């Protein structure tokens, strides 16, 4: 069960807690109580809440990644466009290109 999904774990914890609640009298002899039932149910609820928060964060990260990739493309396009213009303007002075971070490859 090392690769058990979170959904499976939540389902199993909730099922155990419900089963314990239904047979509490028989389980009290081994030290299980309503507090254990409540703890199991609370754990399942907390896992569901955290899973929902995590999924929202993943969605936000995907959206932010799209935003970052778009601005990177815009920056690359800008760099390419101005590099061509700088090279054209300073065509006779490739030594000056270094001031713009452009390697003189002629």
Per residue in 45-76, pLDDT tens? 999 999 999 999 999 999 999 999 999 999 99
Separation CA 45–CA 10 (nearest Å)? 8
pLDDT at 1 over 60: no
Separation CA 88–CA 77 (nearest Å)? 17
Mean pLDDT of the chain: 95
Instruction: Give pLDDT, residue 38.
Output: 98
Per-residue pLDDT band for 37 (boundaries 50, 70, 90) equals very high
Please give the structure tokens belonging to residue 56. 């929202």
- Please state the pTM of the whole predicted model: 0.71
- The angle, 0 to 180 degrees and rounded to 10, between the axes of the packed helices 6-22 and 34-89 is 170
Please give the structure tokens belonging to residue 43. 């754990």
């Amino acid at each position: 069960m090392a690769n058990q999904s979170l959904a499976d774990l939540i389902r199993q914890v909730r099922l155990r807690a419900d089963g314990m609640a239904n047979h509490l009298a028989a389980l009290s002899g081994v030290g299980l109580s309503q507090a254990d039932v409540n703890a199991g149910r609370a754990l399942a609820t907390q896992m569901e809440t955290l899973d929902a928060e995590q999924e929202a964060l993943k969605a936000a990260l995907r959206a932010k990644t799209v935003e970052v990739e778009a601005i990177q493309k815009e920056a690359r396009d800008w760099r390419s466009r101005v590099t061509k213009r700088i090279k054209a303007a300073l065509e006779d002075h490739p030594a000056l290109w270094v001031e713009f971070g452009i390697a003189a490859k002629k």
